[in-house]
Amino acid sequence: MDVVTLGESMVLFTPETNGYMRHADKYSSGIAGAESNLAIGLSRLGHQVSWISRLGDDEFGRKVLTFIRGEGVDTSHVHFDDASPTGLYFKEKLTEEETHVYYYRKNSAASNMTVSDLNEEHISKAKYLYLTGITPALSESCYETVKHAIAIARKHQLTIVFDPNLRLKLWSEERARNILLELVSLVDIVLPGIDEGKFLFHEATPEKIAENFYNQGAKLTVVKLGAEGAYYYSAQEAGYVAGPLVKDVVDPVGAGDGFAAGLISGLLEKTSVKEAVKRGAYTGALVVKVKGDVEGLPEKERLKNFMNETNTNDVYR
């Protein structure tokens, strides 16, 4: 197994028309969740991935499980909870440029994850553990579960990748700052955006953000810069990677998860850090060209063709 991850996945509803949801009467449904997005992205790129979670013992839970399992992801350690529902998530597209998201996940099945949901032997078989800052924000038991997963990963020498994925609607600023900084000190690779850098360190430049994460304990930091690409920093090397030119942005949600999938895919295949970051930027770019969180995640051949044929955004060249 290449990667193991844990977190909440929800059923996503999107109105078929733009504008306020109060006027919508038709919706399409899909699946969304940062960690399961990552798992699907890596599976499509040819890697073996396991996703750990809890789902409600309901039709929405079965929909989530069926979809993710159908994408080739190992779901053997997903548990059904007959006391709590599967979370829901609505995406309101006011215009082509403005999207709002609304979560209905309080007391969801996934928020009740505990350390008992983790199997040490299963996790120990992976090379990488992928986590986000969303899961510890769901509940105290989820926070403890994430810390226990990290302890298992460190014991068995997995590389731990962490996307802070700041969600202030889920917890207070003080608790978010304290826990995110604590987790950063326990992992190997951190994938922040500029917003997380501003929130955690009051810094706005990629170089300063990366330096602060390094001082906090991260061995490699990759600062995601959206259309402009990314900046990577470690004790051995640092630099910018330009992103591809994308003129037809359809849906920006999920791009960061695609970036993580492309990056980890490159690291698994022993490419250079720069090449892995480039793969992340191009994967994220493909995601934003398609409606939905996972629908645009590419298979390996499509990503390869896109990287060979697409001009880059030469902001940093």
Question: How do residues 198-229 score in pLDDT, each as one tens digit?
Answer: 999 999 999 999 999 999 999 999 999 988 89
Residues involved in catalysis: 257
Rg of the chain (C-alpha set):
18
Sole residue written with tokens 């829901």: 88
What pLDDT is stored for residue 198 in this prediction? 95
Query: What's the CATH fold of domain 3-8+34-81+114-316?
Result: UDP-N-acetylmuramoyl-L-alanine:D-glutamate ligase (3.40.1190)
What pLDDT is stored for residue 289 in this prediction? 83
Return phi, psi of residue 57, to 5°: -80, 65
Token pair for 39: 């798992």
Contacts of 91 (CB under 8 A, 6+ apart): 12, 13, 14, 99, 100, 101, 102, 251, 253
**129: three-class secondary structure by DSSP:** strand
What pLDDT is stored for residue 316 in this prediction? 40
Letter string b/e over residues 119-133, b meaning 16 or more CB atoms within 10 A of that residue's CB: eeebbeebbbbbbbb
CA–CA gap between residue 299 and residue 223 (Å, rounded): 24
Question: Tell me, what DSSP letter sits at residue 286?
Answer: H
Mean pLDDT (the chain, rounded)? 93
Contacts of 261 (CB under 8 A, 6+ apart): 37, 38, 40, 41, 42, 44, 45, 280, 283, 297
pLDDT, tens digit, 9 for 90 and up, residues 116-166: 999 999 999 999 999 999 999 999 999 999 999 999 999 999 999 999 998
**Banded model confidence at residue 259, pLDDT cuts 50, 70, 90:** very high
Nearest C-alpha neighbor of 189 from the set 79, 266, 255: 266
pLDDT, tens digit, 9 for 90 and up, residues 11-37: 999 999 999 999 999 999 999 899 999
Angle of helix 255-268 versus helix 273-287 axis, rounded to 10: 150
CA angle 172, 142, 83 (to 5 degrees): 110
- The stretches of the chain forming alpha helices (DSSP H) are 34-44, 59-70, 120-124, 135-138, 140-155, 173-184, 194-201, 206-216, 255-268, 273-287, 300-309
DSSP string for residues in 292-310: SSSTTPPPHHHHHHHHHHP
Provide the whole-model pTM.
Answer: 0.92
Hey, what amino acid is at 60?
Answer: F
pLDDT, tens digit, 9 for 90 and up, residues 287-317: 888 877 788 899 999 999 999 986 655 444 3
CA angle 29, 251, 261 (to 5 degrees): 90
Q: What order of strands is seen across the sheet that includes strand 10-15?
A: 27-32, 10-15, 88-93, 99-104
Mean pLDDT of 80-96: 92
Hey, what amino acid is at 241?
Answer: V
Mean pLDDT of 51-73: 97
What pLDDT is stored for residue 98 in this prediction? 86
- Count the neighbouring beta carbons within 10 Å of the beta carbon of residue 94: 12
Contacts of 98 (CB under 8 A, 6+ apart): none
CA–CA gap between residue 134 and residue 302 (Å, rounded): 30
**Banded model confidence at residue 78, pLDDT cuts 50, 70, 90:** very high
Share of the chain above pLDDT 70, in %: 97
